[in-house]
């Protein structure tokens, strides 16, 4: 094990998810759980209840009628989708206050949320059933950078500088300078959390989607969604970034630049409500 990997993986192991997520996982592992029990567990946490209902009633879902109770939300969305939303909220709680002097944390999370919303919308466009899982994948896809800037900041700055000066893709520069890339770090964190294999695989392989991999379509969707977030955060042109996409991602998804442009407009409309729900503390700090 290299010293760099030891420092980064040690930092990752220190990050834990809130207890409410594990209690929900434990409940859902039972075969005889009921919708009422799921709703009751969530309602037990007032902060989670408020944020969940705020999100369900936002432009992110776009329901015509107001959803006033968790029980109603569970009955409409289903347990699996509710679980993914609780996971997303838990991730925000675990990492939203993460301090990192080398990164603009507000900008980092804006990029990550933009990726997440884009991944969900692209998944729907590609007829993927579990679009909320893609949202979680988007939220976690860049988390390796947060950990690497905290644990090996000098090396991350060196990799970033090399990428800018040579035109090399950042993850290639990370591999050259540090010995591994941010996707591997994110996957390690997710494995520590015992998240589903499908979710880990999407994030681990999104940088270079391979048609031969498990969950190749999902990784390809995430690959394209990451470019949405990069264009937004770096004030770039989406068309220019999409032109750099791995050809396998286009082949796997069947998407094109015109359809992506239409989806990007929808993502922009949903961004503020999702950020306000998941990262209210971050918004207060920035105001």
- List, for residues 60-104, the tens digit of each pLDDT value: 988 988 999 999 999 999 999 999 999 999 999 988 888 778 888
Confidence of residue 282 (pLDDT cuts 50, 70, 90): low
286 — pLDDT class (breaks 50, 70, 90): very low
Span 100-136, pLDDT tens digits: 788 888 899 999 999 999 999 999 999 998 899 999 9
Overall pTM surpassing 0.85 (yes/no): yes
Question: At 287, is the pLDDT very low, low, confident or very high (cuts 50, 70, 90)?
Answer: very low
User: What is residue 196's DSSP assignment?
Assistant: -
Question: Span 171-199, mean pLDDT?
Answer: 96
Taking the C-alpha atoms of residue 213 and residue 14, their distance in angstroms, rounded to an integer, is 30
Tell me which architecture the domain covering 3-286 has in CATH. Answer: Orthogonal Bundle (1.10)
Q: How do residues 149-184 score in pLDDT, each as one tens digit?
A: 999 999 999 999 999 999 999 999 999 999 999 999
Domain positions in the chain? 3-286
Distance, CA of 54 to CA of 35 (rounded, Å): 20
- What local confidence, expressed as pLDDT, does residue 283 receive? 56
Per-position DSSP letters for 96-149, written without gaps between them: TT---TTS-HHHHHHHHHHHHHHHHHHHHHTT-S-HHHHHHHHHHTTHHHHHHH
Using a pLDDT cut of 90, give the percent of the chain over it. 82
């Amino acid at each position: 094990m290299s010293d760099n990997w030891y420092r980064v993986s040690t930092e990752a192991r220190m990050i834990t998810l809130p207890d409410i997520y594990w209690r929900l996982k434990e409940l859902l592992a039972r075969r005889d759980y009921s919708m009422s029990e799921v709703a009751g567990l969530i309602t037990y946490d007032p902060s989670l209840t408020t944020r969940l209902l705020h999100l369900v009633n936002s432009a992110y879902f776009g329901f015509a009628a107001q959803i006033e109770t968790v029980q109603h939300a569970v009955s409409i969305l289903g347990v699996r989708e509710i679980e993914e939303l609780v996971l997303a909220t838990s991730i925000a709680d675990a990492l939203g206050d993460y301090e990192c002097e080398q990164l603009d944390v507000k900008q980092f999370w804006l990029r990550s949320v933009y990726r997440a919303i884009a991944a969900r919308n692209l998944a729907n466009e590609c007829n993927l059933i579990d679009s909320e899982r893609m949202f979680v994948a988007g939220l976690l896809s860049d988390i390796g950078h947060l950990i690497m800037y905290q644990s090996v900041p000098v090396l991350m700055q060196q990799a970033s500088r090399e990428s800018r000066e040579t035109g090399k893709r950042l993850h290639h520069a990370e591999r050259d300078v540090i010995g591994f890339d941010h996707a591997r770090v994110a996957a390690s964190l997710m494995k520590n959390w015992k998240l589903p294999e499908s979710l880990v695989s999407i994030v681990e392989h999104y940088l270079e989607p391979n048609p031969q991999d498990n969950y190749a379509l999902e990784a390809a969707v995430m690959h394209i969604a990451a470019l949405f977030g990069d264009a937004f955060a770096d004030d770039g042109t989406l068309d220019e970034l999409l032109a750099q996409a791995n050809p396998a991602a286009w082949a796997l998804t069947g998407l094109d630049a015109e359809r992506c442009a239409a989806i990007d407009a929808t993502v922009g409309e949903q961004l503020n409500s999702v950020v306000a729900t998941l990262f209210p503390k971050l918004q207060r700090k920035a105001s």
